[in-house]
Chain A
Amino acid sequence: MSSENGKRLLETDAGGLNFEATELTLGLPGEPRVTSDGGAKLGSKRGFSETVDLKLGDNNQEVKLGHSLQEAAKSPVSKTQVVGWPPVRGFAKRGKKSCKYVKVAVDGAPYLRKVDLEIYNSYQQLLTSLEDMFSCFTIRNYLNEKKIDQVNGIEYMPTYEDKDGDWMLVGDVPWQMFVESCKRLRLMKSSEAVGLGLTTGPKYASTN
């Protein structure tokens, strides 16, 4: 079984994360069906993500499962992990020691979402999850209703506000540093991002 909505996930290359891969072709959040705190969790009701074949970012990285719960759908822990097994609903929330929720705003969308940065291990995982959240279903609607010509939808740049209040491009600092300093995320329309000078490619999004 593989990902919902024929996600572009399958197109992103396993090995390196180039700039194209970090660009999110997203639509409006539309139906608030997906998890508000980041991606489909193993055992959560939402999201139809497939765990086994997801090649998310850096496969070489050892996934630290120090704190009791790691959301298995997003961490390639072992090859034998299967979708929806064991059958525990919402287990990702049980016994969780730490979590870091940040709000995610998408330009033009009326709704905010929240993600827990602690459940990801890399930029790739985070960005994939954001793609899940703002599902392709709404892209179709968006395209139909607003008659956008672009086949691929609207391009967004992932940006974040750090502890100092500055807006940075996601991927500029090592992942852990990002998790610690990120206060909120904003998926900015590319046209606006250009104006803010955030056009240089991310330095760290391809590593971890």
Chain B
Amino acid sequence: MSEDDERQQSPPSDLEFVSNKARNCNATGSGSGHPELQSTYPDQVLENVLENVLHFLTSRRDRNAASLVCKSWYRVEALTRSELFIGNCYAVSPGRATARFTRVKALHLKGKPRFADFNLMPPDWGAHFNPWALAMAKAYPWLEKVHLKRMSVTDDDLATLAELFLGFKELVLVCCDGFGTSGLAIFVSKCRQLKVLDLIESEVSDDETDWISCFPEGESNLESLIFDCVECHINFEALDRLVARSPSLKKLKLNRYVSIGQLYRLMVRAPQLTHLGTGSFSPSDIAGQGDQEPDYVAAFAACRSLVCLSGFREIIPDYLPAIYPVCANLTSLNFSYANITAEQLKPIISKCHKLQTFWVLDSICDEGLQAVAATCKDLRELRVFPVDPREDNDGPVSEVGLQAISEGCRKLQSILYFCQRMTNAAVIAMSKNCPDLVVFRLCIMGRHRPDPVTGEPMDDGFGAIVMNCKKLTRLAVSGLLTDKAFDYIGRHGKLVRTLSVAFAGDSDMALKYVLEGCPQLQKLEIRDSPFGDAALRSGLHHYYNMRFLWMSSCRLTRHGCQEIARAMPRLVVEVIRSADEEEMDDVVGTLYMYRSLEGPRTDAPKFVTIL
């Protein structure tokens, strides 16, 4: 079985090597001029050629396809795969992975399901990096890069990475937890070749260790240092010195404990930056009133290569004009921590002609979105987050903003939009105006809310999206939705790989439509929707093709889930209990199931029952 779950194959079983395929390989290899060695020499030539050719194959889907051609191709592909991606750390064991792929230089692992981010899963559920770290240390001492998402990483794991992998260069931790500044300190002090340390939306505990000072002295190879999520004070002088001795530094994202005055000093040191996270973007408390303010505009003007700007964690909007000089070059702007108004946004956004990615708070209102639509003709990705995520009736952004964006930003590919109200008309308009949409995630924060103008459910809007946006692979639905919406999704959402459903649907039919209609479905996450065991049964033909299914607060029973577990031996069916549920309750609080070659995991905590 391939570690890549995104390929479209029939239910993966252990690889079957068909002998006639091998014969074909022999036949095509002939013509070497040595008839007595015909059965072995062409094979070897072929394998050598193959090895050289396959080195160029980078896409993991292509590699998975190549590995299924025949035994020879399987073997050579395994030898030449240098970047290993595992979408669910429990789908395959570290031992199995290292046995098949022997020359891996980069590991990309994902752990917990996404709904864990929203308090829907108790902590200590699992996804521990530790067994992987230990296995890699034995199998790939030359490992250079580790990229983890939603994994639990300890300080010891960080020490392992730094101590046992001499050439280690890149560590990227996204939505991870379990470690602290003391782990970081050990890691940076021992990892002499470090080029990239990116901590993104991770939880880092404050052990009061000054990790920034622990970078070794002398010129550093650092190209990227991202720590905007780290909620601890840092030693600024040490950071300043570090930046000064990192001539290759291109990406620097500061946390909110760095004041704008300190930012200025760093920018002057590193005008070569391409990606900048500005930190707090406000003065520190101790700045004297009479002090001369540095020339922030000049500092930004000097950063001629800056294309990606973020931060603004505690913004004082008076300082915004400082960024004017870089606006024209920006392709990515993240204002999602900046509580600014439309008026404050307009002078900035009107200069951002090249913007492709824009993250913002709904404090800019529909008016701000209209300004975005007027200028950002190249926009590919938009995310609008709520400042106040309560389920009120009034919200600052609505269908008006969405309509404006759809009319102005025709090249839009990805949208995440939180709002209090939305009409079918605006969603339909977007489906027609933005045919390139690949990701459509609409979150109407009021649960079960219908179209406020027509009183209708939101079925037709989402129906239009799946019908008109032919490239759509990711969809998140919300608002009042009947089974009809899911009928549309099943009929038209033929490329949908990820679907998120919350507080939607009327009956089991809704889930049936989706499970029977969407052949590419990989990740299905559902909460608080009236789907039961019958619906679950309707997906039996497809579950081996999926990375996971999550269903919480639905209508599943234990014996219904048990049926699935019995019918599908390669599926791990986890029932996750909340504290007040008895172990033998028939009602299932949370179901999380995923295909796996390893059977039930041995590190499951007490509140998880594997059926």
Contacts and interface: CB of A to CB of B under 8 A. Distances in A.
Is chain B found bound to chain A in the same assembly?
yes
B207 interface: yes
B124 to A, nearest CB: 6
Contacts of B208: 112
B386 A91 contact: yes
A40 B122 CA distance: 11
B45 interface: no
Given A33-B178, A93-B337, A84 B124 contact: no
Interface majority SS (helix, strand, loop, mixed), chain B? loop
Interface stretch (A12-20, A72-80, A176-184, A194-202): A72-80
A204 B443 CA distance: 41
Given A32-B179, A32-B205, A86-B418, A45 B389 contact: no
B589 interface: yes
B119 A83 contact: yes
Given A1-B589, A89-B201, A114 B206 contact: yes
A5 interface: yes
B119 A47 contact: yes
B36 interface: no
Nearest to B445: A86
Nearest to B528: A82
Interface in A50-78: 50, 65, 68-69, 72-73, 77-78
B231 interface: yes
Interface residues of B, number: 55
B135 to A, nearest CB: 22
B339 A85 contact: no
Contacts of A35: 203
B194 interface: no
Contact of A46 (B177, B443, B553, B579): B177
A31 B125 CA distance: 13
B121 interface: yes
B123 interface: yes
B540 interface: no
Given A36-B231, A95-B339, A111-B207, A85 B123 contact: no
A88 B418 contact: yes
A44 to B, nearest CB: 7
B425 interface: no
Given A1-B589, A3-B579, A91 B389 contact: yes
Contacts of A90: 201
B120 interface: yes
A121 to B, nearest CB: 16
A81 B390 contact: yes
Interface string A4-16: 1111001000000
Contact of A81 (B391, B502, B580): B391
Interface in B100-119: 115-119
Interface in A109-123: 110-114
A152 interface: no
A90 to B, nearest CB: 6
B336 A72 contact: no
Nearest to A136: B579
B342 interface: no
A1 B118 contact: no
B344 interface: no
Nearest to A32: B205
B390 A78 contact: yes
Contacts of B336: 94
A84 B389 contact: no
A106 interface: no
Contacts, number: 156
A86 B207 CA distance: 31
Contact of A69 (B119, B154, B388, B589): B388
A131 interface: no
A47 B121 CA distance: 8
B89 to A, nearest CB: 16
A69 B175 CA distance: 21
Interface string A25-45: 000000111111100101111
A147 interface: no
Nearest to A132: B123
B205 A87 contact: no
Contacts of B443: 86-87
Contacts of A87: 115, 117-118, 443, 500, 502
B391 A80 contact: yes
B148 to A, nearest CB: 14
B119 A94 contact: no
Contact of B206 (A72, A78, A112): A112
A167 B502 CA distance: 48
B591 interface: no
Interface string A132-162: 0001010000000000000000000000000
Given A65-B388, A78-B391, A80-B391, A95 B206 contact: no
A35 B123 CA distance: 11
A82 B154 CA distance: 31
A46 to B, nearest CB: 6
A94 B118 contact: no
B121 A48 contact: yes
B411 interface: no
B206 to A, nearest CB: 5
A81 B598 CA distance: 39
B578 interface: yes
8 contacts: A1-B589, A7-B579, A42-B118, A68-B363, A88-B418, A111-B205, A112-B207, A135-B123
Interface of A: 1-7, 10, 31-37, 40, 42-50, 65, 68-69, 72-73, 77-78, 80-91, 93-97, 110-114, 135, 137
Nearest 6 pairs between A and B by C-beta?
A84-B118, A95-B339, A32-B205, A48-B122, A1-B578, A95-B387
Given A32-B178, A35-B203, A94-B339, 19 more contacts: A4-B123, A4-B579, A6-B579, A10-B580, A32-B180, A42-B118, A42-B119, A45-B117, A46-B203, A48-B119, A50-B578, A73-B119, A83-B120, A87-B500, A88-B118, A88-B386, A88-B389, A95-B337, A95-B338
